[in-house]
Amino acid sequence: MKNKKGLVGNTGFSLIELLIVISIVGILSSIAYPSYQEYVIETHREDVISELQSLELAMQQYAFENHTFVGAASEGDKGVPDPVKVYKLDTKIAEHYTVTVKQASVTGFILTAVPKGKQVEDRCGVITLNSNRVWTLVKDNKDMTSDCLR
């Protein structure tokens, strides 16, 4: 289409406009991505906490039926929770944490969830739950329990 001067009208974007838009998208992405990563890590942590609560209930049920916590793990008093006798862990949890019975005795137990893969970046670290329902979260020998549990 020609205007009064006989030139064709400009209907597209200029190179500088495209570069400005690309720059803005890049800046927004660089701000949003770390927040998203932290959100994903926190979600995995909340999932494993929920899984540990379910495992704790299963351990209590096992002890009620057997009068001991020994035997609830693959190696008797420690190891992976026995999926037949006690509880089958969610496979999605296993992608981000190694969940084990750290110790089992006649009177109590300690469950641990050790982060692995990208989850190692979690600021809360290793999660521990004992038979008295006491939670401990430790990262680099620093107690993170009050910062990480809501």
Query: DSSP of 21-63, one letter per residue?
Result: HHHHHHHHHHHHHHHHHHHHHHHHHHHHHHHHHHHHHHHHHHH
Helix, strand or coil, per DSSP, at residue 103: strand
pTM (two decimals) = 0.81
Tell me the β-bridge partners of 81. Answer: 73
pLDDT at 6 over 60: no
Residue among 147, 79, 144 at smallest CA distance from 110: 79
Q: Angle at Cα 33 formed by Cα 30 and Cα 38, nearest 5°? A: 135
Does 2 have pLDDT greater than 60? Answer: no
> Residue 112: its pLDDT value, please?
96
